[in-house]
Amino acid sequence: MGGLTVFEKLKKLLPDENYIYFGDTENMPYGEKTSAQLLKITRRIFDFFEQKNVKAVVMACNTTSATVYEELKDKYPFKIYPVIQSVAKFLAQLPVKKICVPATPATVNSKTYSREIQKLNPAMEVIEAACPEWVKIVEGRSTEPENKLIEEKMKEILLYNPDKIVLGCTHYPYLLPVLSKFAPEDMFIDPAGHFAQIIAKDMQNDTAANSGGSEKFYVSASPENFVSAGKMFYNVKELPELLNLNRLAVN
């Protein structure tokens, strides 16, 4: 569902494109899965996109961008846009010395944010902080009070004295109203807008010529819940089609 934060911004920049969106609601949360599990899941999703003859795939998920992009980037006929690797240049150019990236455990363990940013700006200090409960809050799967869970982690993050806090999961922008109770809102960076701009600029000479474009949504479970919960990010007008990943062959 978090990928809708990117989709909403990309749709505004490229309104005439034809979009296929897949939300893997059955296998969430990704942040607590192994790299092997994520690779198997992502390959099946990419196989599905290949069957649909897409020209580009947007990995609007920090966890898969961190863990499986390098393995898959040259194995499909379409262009792949991974969120972390795409926005690293923008983050590396920020006029700050230290940033903190709250993210899923899988993203944090991969150190992809640190690696990609410090390739371009070795002087920037990048601290990655695992926030496993935050996705569950957004997805409605947490049983703990959300303010308490966020406050505890924000206290830990602020001890690092970061200049900026990069929301390292596409779900996290939903939490900004609560996060901004513990730090100024302008301290937070949502990479989704910058990511969408990078994609739109890169595709400006390869955009659809049709008027209006189209959008088709697929999910692996609970389409009704996806529509109702997803409204915080984007108004999905039609019920998504169910797609069973286990029936898709892996290349």
Active site residue 61: yes
Angle between helices 83-92 and 112-120 (to 10 degrees): 40
- 169, 175, 179, 203: the catalytic one is 169
3-state SS string for the chain: CCCHHHHHHHHHHCCCCEEEEEECCCCCCHHHCCHHHHHHHHHHHHHHHHHCCCCEEEECCHHHHHHCHHHHCCCCCCEEEEHHHHHHHHHHCCCCCEEEEEECHHHHHHCHHHHHHHHHCCCCEEEEEECHHHHHHHHCCCCCCHHHHHHHHHHHHHCCCCCEEECCCCCHHHHHHHHCCCCCHHHEECHHHHHHHHHHHHCCCCCCCCCCCEEEEEECCCHHHHHHHHCCCCCCCCCCEECCHHHCCCC
Task: Judge whether 78 and 54 are in contact, CB under 8 Å.
Answer: yes
What is the dihedral sign for C-alpha 107, 112, 117, 122?
positive
Among candidate residues 1, 61, 106, 203, the one labeled active-site is: 61
Which active-site residues does the annotation give? 61, 169
